[in-house]
Amino acid sequence: MKVQIDSKLCQGHGRCYDLAPDLFGEDDEGYATLTPLTADGNVPDGREGDTRLAAANCPESAVLVFEEAVNDRR
């Protein structure tokens, strides 16, 4: 699974980093960021549920979840 934050959509509701604080962080103004765990866009194994939870709670649909690892075609 892959994840991105669409920073143009993010309005700083803070739902993602409250619900999954190791997967999502916040900048100085309170807008969402990825964290060292997710910075490469990959969701750690076993954390798919938390990622979906964060996405489901985002009022702006700014947590973009890609269910299939689309680049994983080795």
- The site for another protein (CB under 8 A) is made up of 11-15, 17-18, 26, 28-31, 49, 52-53, 56-57, 59, 61, 67-68
* Residue nearer to another protein on the CB measure, 14 or 41: 14
Count CB-CB contacts under 10 A for residue 22: 13
* Residue nearer to another protein on the CB measure, 3 or 15: 15
Residues 6, 58: contact at Cβ < 8 Å? Answer: no
**Which residues fall within 8 angstroms of residue 59, CB to CB, at 6 or more apart?**
11, 13, 15
What's the closest the beta carbon of residue 48 comes to another protein, in angstroms?
A: 9
